[in-house]
Amino acid sequence: MNKAKILVVEDENVVALEIKKRLIRLGYVVPSVAASGKDAIIKAKGFLPDLVLMDIRLKGEMDGIEAAQEIRTQLGIPVIYLTAHSDEETLKRAKQTEPEGYILKPFVEDDLRTIIEVALYKYQKQSV
């Protein structure tokens, strides 16, 4: 079985490296880390990951919600939000992009693995 490729989108370098390290420990492949919404779209097109873990607040003009919408619309890649933000307005905007999940930081590794596995399974079933 091929290991799932996950693109990490996180603008805080230390946090991004920690997420990448945890994903690798869980058996996933992390082909790249993106720090901005535009970078996330470019890297998603280049690497065609199986899943995107997306922070919502990013540096630059485009936030994670806008980037997730573009990635889903253009590429059909599932997105899980991994963020510290859960205010009503942010959640309302995020739900409109139909994410496969929404995890609050700090997160528990087992919770992350579980939601990733469910999202990948659901996506594979829809693709058949």
pLDDT tens sequence across 77-124? 999 999 999 899 999 999 999 999 999 999 999 999 999 999 999 988
Q: Which is nearest to 53 in space by CA: 74, 73, 28, 89?
A: 28
pLDDT of residue 128: 67
Give the number of C-alpha atoms closer than 13 A to the C-alpha of residue 34, restricted to the C-beta side.
30
pLDDT of residue 127: 73
Residue 1 has pLDDT above 50, yes or no: no
At the top level of CATH, which class does the domain 6-127 belong to? alpha beta
14: helix, strand or coil: helix
Mean pLDDT of 28-57: 97
Mean pLDDT of 17-23: 96
pTM: 0.95
Residue 2 has pLDDT above 80, yes or no: no
Instruction: Provide CB contacts within 8 A for 121, sequence distance 6+.
Output: none
Instruction: Provide CB contacts within 8 A for 118, sequence distance 6+.
Output: 100, 101
* Two structure tokens written together for 108: 């528990």
34 contacts 54 by C-beta, under 8 angstroms: no
Q: Which of the 8 DSSP states describes residue 97?
A: T
